[in-house]
A = this chain, B = another copy of it.
């Protein structure tokens, strides 16, 4: 049996190099509380992400919680989002005492449909939370216009869009904030981790306080905050991983071309669309399988790959509105049946990291070409 192949494989620094950084941490006795490595990594990420405010968190969900608090949204107000996302997006809304409202996605990019957003707006709406799913960029201009017209905050879940640029502009420059995830499964990881970025320099202080109990100094707590701090061990991993990201991204970009060389020729298999001016985040390799055209379903392919010890992911399936906490929530859509209901039967993320070999690709190609 071949060793199991998963969709992601964590980027990990050389342990000997990590050990050198850990020696300095151990020697200083400063192992957390926004120590020197945390500060260094945050500074580097501010450069990489190209925004004035980029604040590290212990994970992406806590970054989302903090973003929603930053906006001071009224209790029980509604936040419009997509059901085609990781459960954390909706959970963060609910946990903060807000109400998620789900709307449909666009057929190609699978990002939130601005026309559906318009349908969902009520006098209780306070924010839109778009998701750059698979690194596909949301309809930035349309969403901003809607937000402006209705006086809504516009937040992005950028967990899949690390390093993405749009016509050279960093993704985190759009809207009122972008939450990133640096979880093990992400291109850039700090084991667990996250970051909240905004284009407003003045947000940095507020986010700092949200992340660290509102502590200003030894004698002052100026606002409400929780513990969103990343520790020095994880900051050390981040510093080393950041130096490896470009090479991992390059290898994934080559892998993408190899996938496309056979998948793009298959009728009924739709690969990730190219958005003009948008750089690919190289986070995932999602496809949509139209069973009627292709002749076999997404689930067939998933199972066939599994027999080869290759674990693709039906990502995202089920979608948020299938989950118990959100089962009774409707999905606003311009269609009779929300398109996302079709998408969830079609999407599949294939193994996508530098550990995928040509041998693996041959097996995957064989599975797709088998009749």
Q: Which residues of B contact A61 (CB under 8 A)?
A: 213, 226-227
**A151 to B46 CA separation, bound complex (whole angstroms):** 50
User: Which residues of A pack against B, CB within 8 Å?
Assistant: 9-10, 12, 15, 18-19, 22-23, 26, 29, 31-33, 58-62, 65, 69, 75-76, 86-88, 91-92, 94-97, 183-184, 191-192, 213-215, 219-227, 229, 231-234, 237, 317-318, 320, 323-325
Instruction: Give this chain's copy count.
Output: 2
User: In the complex, what residues of B have CB within 8 A of residue A219's CB?
Assistant: 317-318
A–B pairs, 25, beta carbons within 8 Å: A10-B31, A12-B29, A31-B184, A32-B191, A32-B192, A58-B58, A58-B59, A58-B192, A61-B226, A75-B75, A75-B97, A87-B215, A87-B225, A88-B213, A94-B224, A192-B227, A214-B325, A220-B318, A220-B323, A221-B318, A221-B325, A223-B324, A223-B325, A224-B325, A233-B237
Find chain B residues with CB under 8 A from A69 CB: 95
| Cβ-defined contact, A10 with B23, below 8 A | no
| Contact (Cβ within 8 A) A59 B227 | yes
Of the candidates B29, B191, B318, B324, which one forms a contact with A232 in the assembled complex, judged by CB atoms under 8 Å apart? B191
**CB of A164, distance to nearest CB on chain B (Å):** 22
Complex Cα spacing A86 to B221, Å: 10
With A75-B97, A227-B60 in contact, do A29 and B15 touch (Cβ < 8 Å)? no
- Complex CA distance for A3 and B179, rounded to whole angstroms: 41
**Closest CB in chain B relative to A193 CB, distance in Å:** 9
Complex-state Cα separation, A192 to B91, whole angstroms: 23
**Closest CB in chain B relative to A17 CB, distance in Å:** 12
Contact of A95 among B15, B87, B226 (CB under 8 A): B226
